[in-house]
């Protein structure tokens, strides 16, 4: 059996390495874009699959409540990963690869943005929503891991974490969410 102390140190070392090597210029641009959208009263949409869906839903919790409590703004943030009835209806009646695109086609208004979270960056539903956003000139912020995939290459602003491990990739995306949240709060404190 692997020694827990060794494993812990190795995991946290790799996590620290992944998160500290993020493109800070892109992180700054993404943060500014999100704040601009919030200030204008537009909507931030967010989506992801599996663990990334959980992170997407956590965005809603923290931005809707935590950000609002600590600022004079009322962010509008909606997770396209959250409505299981809609997701399964689209998947069953149309195709699973359209679960995010189909929702965004109905909900999007000019000035809204989409945050996409995907460790591989290559899920078919991620590719389809990106094709739609790029065709309609909708700004996207892509949080990717591993080699970044399609998401890293095709999002307006890429926040790629070089991690070849799902846990480290997802942990990094979660940390980035909290960094952006707390940085924006610090920037607009009541």
DSSP class per residue in 31-96: HHHHHHHHHTT-EEEEEESTHHHHHHHHHHHIIIIIIHHTSS---EEEETTS-HHHHHHHHHHT-G
pLDDT above 70 as % of the chain: 99
| pLDDT tens, residue by residue, 12-57 | 999 999 999 999 999 999 999 999 999 999 999 999 999 999 999 9
- The pLDDT score that the predictor gives to residue 1 is 82
Pairwise CA distance, residues 140 & 113, whole Å:
6
| pLDDT tens, residue by residue, 158-184 | 999 999 999 999 999 999 999 999 999
> Which CATH number do you get for residue 100?
3.40.50.10490
Range of the domain at 84: 4-187
Helix, strand, or coil (residue 115): strand
Tokens read off for 146: 């591993």
Overall number of domains in the chain: 1
pTM value is: 0.96
């Amino acid at each position: 059996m692997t020694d827990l102390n060794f494993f812990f140190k190795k995991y946290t070392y790799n996590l620290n390495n992944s998160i500290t090597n993020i493109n800070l210029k892109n992180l700054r641009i993404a943060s500014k874009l999100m704040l601009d959208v919030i200030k204008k009263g537009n909507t931030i949409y967010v989506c992801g699959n599996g663990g990334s869906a959980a992170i997407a839903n956590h965005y809603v919790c923290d931005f809707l409540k935590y950000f609002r409590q600590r600022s004079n703004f009322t962010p509008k943030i909606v997770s396209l990963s959250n409505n299981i009835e809609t997701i399964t209806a689209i998947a069953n009646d149309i195709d699973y690869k359209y679960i995010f695109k189909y929702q965004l086609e109905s909900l999007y208004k000019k000035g809204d943005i989409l945050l996409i979270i995907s460790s591989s960056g290559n899920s078919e539903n991620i590719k389809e929503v990106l094709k739609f956003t790029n065709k309609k000139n909708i700004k996207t912020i892509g949080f990717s891991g591993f080699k970044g995939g399609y998401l890293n290459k095709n999002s307006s602003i890429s926040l790629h974490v070089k991690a070849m491990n799902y846990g480290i990739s997802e942990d990094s995306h979660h940390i980035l969410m909290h960094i952006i949240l707390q940085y924006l709060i610090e920037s607009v404190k009541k």
